[in-house]
Amino acid sequence: MNLSATDCLLIIDMQNDFLPGGALEVKEGDQIIPGLNELAGRFEHVILTQDWHPAGHISFASTHHLRAFADTVEASYGTQTLWPDHCIQGTRGAELHSALDVPHAEMILRKGFRKEIDSYSAFLENDGATPTGLAGYLRERGLRRLFFGGVAYDFCVGFSAIAAAELGFEAIVLEDLTRAVSLPGTVDGTNEAFSRGGIERISSGSIS
């Protein structure tokens, strides 16, 4: 697969709290950093995303005095999975990992900063209606084919790729450069959504 000037690499949420040792670590998430760095160097256009939650965020189990992973709450936009406190604004856990080396990244998009709504997708809040502005940015720049890596495959990477396809972009997920949280059924559900949405899954090695 050859790259073009209208391609963009989106590196999703490579933050300390999502990597080994973090509050919501994704197993082996740190192992994809060298590959992301190498691949990013071949893209003219790269965008990074950051989860950026206020304290007391609706997605935190502690906010509701409930259990992370085990409990859910009903939000105005549907069922909300509860997580450990993570990626709190201004903390080390919210920082991008120091080994991520993408100096030419054109944008760092912050999401999840509204206290009463979570945001897995880089394009839309979890209500499915509130935009982040990323789609407009990409369209104004003439960027049409989007490649996704980072964490987590079955949440923020997956939701971002699905939203991109629904918004009319060509979405491609780099299977070797992402890792999953792997809650019950989440990986299978993501794979099925990719198939329904026409989202291609490839290895970064197939990009020339």
Least Cα distance to 123 among 103, 148, 101, 105 occurs for 148
Q: Token pair of 122, please? A: 């880089």
Q: Token pair of 16, please? A: 């300390």
Give the separation between CA 36 and CA 149, rounded to whole angstroms.
Answer: 7
Q: How far is CA 66 from CA 19, 62, 84, 119, in A?
A: 23, 6, 10, 20
Q: Token pair of 184, please? A: 């019950």
From the candidates 7, 13, 30, 154, give the one annotated as an active-site residue: 13
Q: Given CA atoms 135, 140, 144, 145 in this order, what sign does their dihedral have?
A: negative
H helices present in the chain, as ranges: 33-40, 61-64, 134-141, 158-166, 186-197
Give the separation between CA 148 and CA 161, rounded to whole angstroms.
Answer: 7
Residue 111 annotated as catalytic: yes
Give 133's DSSP letter: S
Contact 6, 143 (CB under 8 A): yes
From the candidates 51, 111, 118, 154, give the one annotated as an active-site residue: 111
Residue 154 annotated as catalytic: no
Residue 156 annotated as catalytic: yes
Instruction: Enumerate the active-site residues.
Output: 13, 111, 156
